[in-house]
Amino acid sequence: MTNQMLIEHIQKTAFDFFMGETNYKSEPGFGMTVDHTEKPHVASIASVGFTLSAYVVGVANQYMTYEDAREKVIQTLITLRDHVSHYQGFFAHFVDIHTAQRLGHCEYSTIDTALALNGVITVDAYFKDDTIHQLAYDIIHRIDFDMLVHTHEGKPRLYMAYNPDKDGDYVHGRPGFIHHWGMFAEQLMMYVMIAGLHKDHNLSNALYEGFDRIYKSYQQHRFIITPGNTLFVYQFPLAWLDLKDVVDRQGISWFNNARNATYAHRAFCLRHQKAFKTFNKYSFGLTAGYTPSGYYVANALPNMLGKYYTNGTISPSAMVGSLPFAKEICLPAIKHMANQPELWGKYGLVGSYNFEKEPWISTRDYALDKGLELLMANAYLTKDVQNAYMSHPIIQTGMGVLGWKKIEKQ
């Protein structure tokens, strides 16, 4: 296959995941998508943001008809508005795929809600349909972002989640609000949303300026790190936000930051390839995923932990997820994987692999991995999703409020 054909194939197989692992039955959970394929009753609200975005890819690439996509979008938005468990507009992280009700004692999550909202914003902009617009408006405008705002270390910051249960997920001590976004992480798009919705522009800017920006270098690659320096954190916001040649008031380019982080991850893997046989110039990037030791969030250096965590597992989504901003190293890696038949599964590239002892290849597909592959393949090919998302008034207004501007090239 040519490069174009290969990335189109990855886009299509990732699209097939969302069509094959989403509930299309006439029940309250219509439109909910699995968190991963080995627990078909568990849906993740973040998965739904990728599913909604998949309909845009489907129509734009003639994988499905406009009318079919429109009907699925409307029914999914009705589910989000009327059936999914929420607290002040923030969705439960995990819900039953049939009932859309909160599972167990999971948290009401800001970041997973934001990922779902990315999909809502995308379809609202793309379909330009009155019914979709009203549903999207209802979902977005019932969210109480002010509820999350608090002062920490003299700066306004956002809480990460809310859980009312004393034995709930992530609750240590009293139930209620959990942790806060005090550092650079995948919450980046939340500041744009808030700035696009909130009347208090000073607060919006203070929130964006309120998280720490910590620069570190690995070999010659300097960038603002996330605390653990796991690769997906740099990638997720840029799956929807097209920030190429965009800088903020301080001159920070989050696009270039993700690019530098990707190069640093590759350099880390090359430096440690004697210790981990799975690592090489075509197999790099420490991220979150399923491993022989279970689900695992791997961390590369440099990070705030002072040490790295990996068992040698690599996820193809790490390389596909950086394709738009580091194609010169990611495209050869993708082509290398494409030439290994064992790394292909039902929905394209497998979720992860590990060759440290006996070859181990995951049979579990995560929606977040497939969603990242879908959107980054699309961003590389045609930007159907990014063009729609970036055109939405909320995003346009938010970028203006935060002072994010396109660099005028000479």
SS (H, E, C) 93-134: CEEECCCCCECCCCCEEHHHHHHHHHHHHHHHHHHCCHHHHH
**What is the C-alpha separation between 180 and 205, in angstroms, rounded?**
17
Do 388 and 267 have their domain in common?
yes
Distances (CA, A) of 322 to 18, 189, 221, 243, 287: 21, 17, 15, 13, 12
**What angle (nearest 5°) sits at the alpha carbon of residue 190, between those of residues 188 and 193?**
125
In this structure, the answer to whether residues 112 and 175 fall within a common structural domain is no
Rounded Cα–Cα distance for residues 31 and 26 (Å): 10
Give yes or no: residues 298 and 251 share one domain: yes
Q: Count of domains in the chain?
A: 3
Q: 99 and 224 share a domain? A: no
Q: Which helix (H) or strand (E) holds 295?
A: strand 294-297
Residues 95 and 169 in one domain: no
| Each residue's pLDDT expressed in tens, for the chain with a length of 410 residues | 899 999 999 999 999 999 999 999 999 999 999 999 999 999 999 999 999 999 999 999 999 999 999 999 999 999 999 999 999 999 999 999 999 999 999 999 999 999 999 999 999 999 999 999 999 999 999 999 999 999 999 999 999 999 999 999 999 989 999 999 999 999 999 999 999 999 999 999 999 999 999 999 999 999 999 999 999 999 999 999 999 999 999 999 999 999 999 999 999 999 999 999 999 999 999 999 999 999 999 999 999 999 999 999 999 999 999 999 999 999 999 999 999 999 999 999 999 999 999 999 999 999 999 999 999 999 999 999 999 999 999 999 999 999 999 997 75
231 plus 245 within the same structural domain? yes
- Residue numbers of the domain that contains 254: 213-393
**Residue 406 forms part of a structural domain:** no
Measured CA to CA, the distance from residue 77 to residue 79 in angstroms comes to: 5
Other beta carbons within 10 Å of 270: 14
Same domain, 60 and 190: no
Residues 230, 376 within the same domain:
yes
Residues 200 and 122 in one domain: no
- Residues 342 and 261 grouped into a single domain: yes
How far from chain centre, in Å, is Cα 51?
12
Whether 405 is in a domain gets the answer no
Domain CATH for 320: 1.50.10.140
